[in-house]
Chain A
């Protein structure tokens, strides 16, 4: 046969084309490009999301910038400056000197625009200033007090009708106009800012038999009215409210002061207090001496105001108190001393305050300084920032809550800073020293945020101690925003923990059951059914959890809790009884029929729970479990008993197996099957009794030792709580854990299963001893993926967790997770502000958490796959 000639049977189709066709090549190239483009874009998108989040977050941690000083020509104060303020646009500033003179300065040139006075007298006896309302109380030597209101009026005059002055104004140029300063804005409008000063009629402080001039004055203006406190030359201290009354006949308004004297401080007359401060809403008065002593008066009841506590505001005797200021809201007093330290004091309510009003002043923040005396303290009118000036001309800007130093600078000539002024928008800082005023441009972006403030406990105003708190907004302007992320991270972990506690055992056992017990055909059906569960929208689950399960659980709390005990006991007991069934019957029922018999135990357990639960509630918990949890009644012992019962049961099972296992094996070798089953039932009952005894003993001991489970793991019941979330979110993560672990278990080589079964092991022994250890890393990665899902889950926790950002492990309390927090707060956050960026930080944290968890799971899975190939 000619071998060079292919046989005819192979030549039927003719010669095969050797050259790849062009269309095939094109299709190949197009497919390759499309696929790599798709993959690349996916990776790029994910990276872009990450980059975007980081882009929004990074400015949070940026430092503030302070421009170099620009000296203002005029307005150098010859007398001590009592108060100063700029308008919102930082175009004008008024400066109130001790003499009562008010000079209005242009901030662009420094020229004095006009000079006014709040006092008819050349030298007022005392001046008191309320920064929130810009009202000055002016006390004169005859004992009368006037209120002078310094307010900036902003108007947008019509340029056409106001003459040449405004119509020739070029953009961003300023000119004096109608007693104020006009500026043409970028959009062509002209804005005119003018200081308006109005002085009230005088009023007397007290009925005033002795018309002593006030030495120190302070006032506090709120929407409800004003409170005034005064220390007179003769040592009398008075505090009272101002009421505005209108004469029905004339329509004239008069101010009337109604108040009372406070007990005089028992200090030598030679040492006069240097500051008088009304705190909060004017219900506390603080009197401060140069040596650091202070007295706080409780003035809630004006007629019976008393000294509440005496304070030592300084740490050592050789330090003197130099300046006293108040942060926004007037609840925190800033105390500067001669060693450069600034302490922030506010009222707290500790357990044992020992004062008449139950409150105590505490130093919540401390800015140590470097030994150079504090010569000026100026709080911001809009935030918790404050500026500190020093004797050597240096000045710093701090944020109170985060204790962050935002900026620092120095006066041009190095002379002591004697006044500071922060513009309302915190875009300008004005510093006064012997050389006059100098202005700095300021850009402080997010002073509230610092790594410490976000992640460490912070001592917030009026809190007892440093705490992790998330409270991003409130109704009041002077509210201290609390951006502690820990409660949210904690909530996320709590939700994850409880849902895994519920979901993981169920999912893993279900996976073992279907991979080791079910016939392949049934397995496919069961698996796809459970996978359908995963497609249930989480909002539906959340709705179910919040509106159906939560009320249900609350209404029948005892029965629900009892079912955690009754259902496992029913299943275990059922298994023992099943062994007593005739062997022929047992062997005939395989697969799903056996499952049916097993599931009978479930409703039986639930039924028992619904009967037993309320009975136990009546007997052991005084008829109301919620009341017991709230510590309204009942002792700790029943709670301990129920908590320790599972532990005791496991312990008893192990102990009995350990102590009697060998003996039972020897004795039972020749027993009949029925006898073994009877013995097993007996042993089960004995174990139960032992467990109860152990638990009762431990409960008695623990409660005798004064320990109570309430307050930590158990506590006051809230309707939306971790139990409900754990239950429903457990359901949400079961499908994914089940699917992945079923895959892991099924991919264990069949030969191992056969080897084990062939050696006479039961499917359960095979699963436990061979299959699960072999698939362990696959199961681990399944759990991790489930964990990732639980960490990022939003709707269920949003709807069922109550969204209270608290940190405790109590099963019956709510929590707020990172994801739910973002969903709740992002729509109302102002774009670009600290709150907004902090929420993005929360998102980044969430992203990092799920990324780490999923990557870890994937790495483990890869390892598992390599190991599986070796088998």
Chain B
């Protein structure tokens, strides 16, 4: 009989393939209590269950980084539901930051708060602040349209527009009214090259984007996002709808974009987080539990709960 233990929200589509680099070996997936030396006892979840405020365990090594996005005391309510509790974090410039955590912990909500996509939903209340390169995101005088032009976003499911590949890539230029054909063609090529799709589609730019495969479509979406030269790129589980090969290509692409773009990425896939990101933030029930460099989070987390999660003990 199955032991009736505490069961937090179980994520169905969590992938746990064989680890590649920087991950504990299979034998380490069930570490014995003696081996594990967390700095604090596993009391965080109980405190959260009692609705006590949680102070994010932010690793000191992140403090000095130049932040592209600063989140301070950010709160978000969906009607009566408190979805995000006092989130404070600084997203470093030119690096890949991964948001991990079980389903429903608020990763996507946080991501979508950055470009105010949550505005589209009724009954959302906001507290705290976010700043993009020093400019407030949630001040009264902010024009959402202008804000979104500075932020690129790639969604869970590839969502190319039902138009040609070319038109898809230069969509942001079109809506800005750019009509210079040279500029458009140049931007299209550069973006597709950056997204590693140029060689595959250069002869059929006028074909419908819907004819591409799922992985190609997702890279097209990334090309579309970076064509707008965003200050930060938001990736919302970009590989969850893709097969492993396409996933690998996207991960390689993220690797290549690193440095040039600041990327904030939501993922359910521990291996993906560990492979591609520089920093990792672990969230649980609307709280940011621990935030630090990826290697530290996966190998020497400060909190027991983080270790349990990244090693697959729960979640």
Contacts and interface: CB of A to CB of B under 8 A. Distances in A.
B172 interface: yes
Given A662-B179, A755-B155, A761-B175, A584 B140 contact: yes
Given A587-B140, A661-B177, A758 B162 contact: no
A760 B145 contact: yes
Nearest to A768: B175
Dominant secondary structure at the A interface: helix
Contact of A760 (B140, B149, B162, B178): B149
A758 B120 CA distance: 11
A760 B161 contact: no
Contacts of A588: 140
Contact of A758 (B141, B148, B177, B178): B148
Interface residues of B, number: 37
Contacts of B162: 752, 770, 773-774, 867, 871
Contacts of A583: 141, 143
Interface residues of A, number: 32
B161 A752 contact: yes
B172 A751 contact: no
A773 B141 CA distance: 33
A754 B159 contact: yes
A758 B157 CA distance: 14
A749 B228 contact: no
Nearest to B146: A760
Interface string B129-163: 00000000000111101111111110101010111
Interface in B167-197: 171-172, 174-175, 177-180
B210 interface: yes
Interface string A718-752: 00000000000000000000000000000001011
A749 B160 CA distance: 11
Contacts of A770: 161-162
Given A583-B143, A584-B140, A661-B177, A755 B148 contact: no
A769 B175 contact: yes
Given A587-B143, A770-B161, A773-B163, A758 B210 contact: no
B247 to A, nearest CB: 19
A587 B141 contact: yes
A760 B146 CA distance: 7
Contacts of A773: 162-163
A109 interface: no
A158 B146 CA distance: 104
Nearest to A658: B179
B117 A754 contact: yes
Given A587-B140, A774-B162, A759 B175 contact: yes
B122 interface: yes
A596 to B, nearest CB: 19
A871 B210 contact: yes
B159 A755 contact: yes
Interface string B209-230: 0100000000001001100100
B117 A758 contact: yes
A631 B221 CA distance: 62
B275 to A, nearest CB: 26
Nearest to B210: A870
A665 B175 CA distance: 12
Given A755-B221, A757-B117, A765 B175 contact: yes
B177 A759 contact: no
B175 A760 contact: yes
B115 interface: yes
B17 to A, nearest CB: 27
A661 B179 contact: yes
B169 to A, nearest CB: 11
Interface in B20-50: none
Nearest to A751: B159
A22 interface: no
Interface string B93-131: 000000000000000000000010100101000000000
Contacts of A1: 1
A844 B17 CA distance: 68
A105 B180 CA distance: 97
Interface in A751-807: 751-752, 754-762, 765, 769-770, 773-774
A871 B115 CA distance: 24
Interface in A815-871: 867, 870-871
Interface in A1-57: 1, 7
A287 to B, nearest CB: 79
B62 to A, nearest CB: 27
A701 interface: no
A757 B120 contact: yes
Nearest to B163: A773
Contact of B148 (A749, A751, A759, A769): A759
A869 to B, nearest CB: 12
A520 interface: yes
B140 A757 contact: no
A661 B171 CA distance: 18
Contacts of B171: 756, 759, 761, 769
Contacts of B151: 758
Contacts of B1: 1, 7
B191 to A, nearest CB: 12
A765 B145 CA distance: 11
Contacts of B225: 759
Contacts of A521: 122
A760 B227 CA distance: 12
Contacts of A752: 159, 161-162
A867 B210 CA distance: 10
Nearest to B174: A769
Nearest to A521: B122
A762 B141 contact: no
Given A769-B161, A773-B162, 20 more contacts: A1-B1, A583-B141, A587-B141, A587-B142, A661-B177, A662-B180, A665-B178, A752-B161, A754-B120, A755-B159, A755-B224, A757-B117, A757-B120, A759-B149, A760-B146, A760-B172, A762-B175, A765-B175, A769-B175, A773-B163
By Cβ-Cβ distance, the 3 closest A-B pairs, closest first, are A760-B149, A751-B159, A758-B153
Interface of B: 1, 115, 117, 120, 122, 140-143, 145-153, 155, 157, 159, 161-163, 171-172, 174-175, 177-180, 210, 221, 224-225, 228
13 contacts: A520-B122, A661-B179, A665-B177, A755-B161, A758-B115, A758-B148, A758-B153, A759-B149, A759-B153, A759-B228, A760-B145, A760-B228, A762-B145
